[in-house]
Amino acid sequence: MRTVTFLANLDLEWDNDSGWIVLNPMRVVWQDGETVLYDFTVPKGFTTDLSSIPERLRGIIPQVGKYNRPSVAHDYAYEDGVKGMSRREADLMFRDGMRGEGVSWHRRWLMWAAVRAFGWTVWG
C-alpha cells in the first residue's frame, strides 16, 4: 500500500498579494511499502492556494480541510518542485495523502477526479 507521511505541521500565513505562504518547511515522504517513491521538502516561503476549489463549489467542498497538507504537497509538485515526478504521480500522491489524513473516500475520489480532469491546465 502506498502511504504519504508529512513530517511537519503545516504552518501558513495569508498574504493578500500572494495567497497562503508556508512558514516552515514541510517534508513529505511517499512510499509504496518499504520503497520510497519520493522524499521532498516544501520550502518555507512557498505560496499556495490550498485546494483549488472553484468558489461556486465551496459549499460542497471547502477550500480548507483535512486535505491541506496533501494540497500543499500537490501544488508544490505541480510547480515542478519535485524532480522526476509526473503529473499522474503528483495526483496519486495527493489521493494517497488525503487517505492518510483521514479524508473520506467520496471526497478523496471527487478531488482526485477533479485534478485528473482539469490539472493539465496548470501543470508545470
Mean pLDDT value across residues 52-62 = 68
Domain that holds residue 92: 2-121
Cell of 3: 502511504
Q: Which amino acid is at 50?
A: L
- What total of structural domains would you count in the chain? 1
Q: How many percent of the chain have pLDDT more than 70? A: 90
62 pLDDT higher than 90 = no
* pLDDT band of 122, cuts 50, 70, 90: confident
In 3D, which of 11, 13, 4, 39 has the Cα closest to residue 25?
A: 11
The confidence band for 57, taking pLDDT boundaries of 50, 70 and 90, is low
Q: Whole-model pTM?
A: 0.90
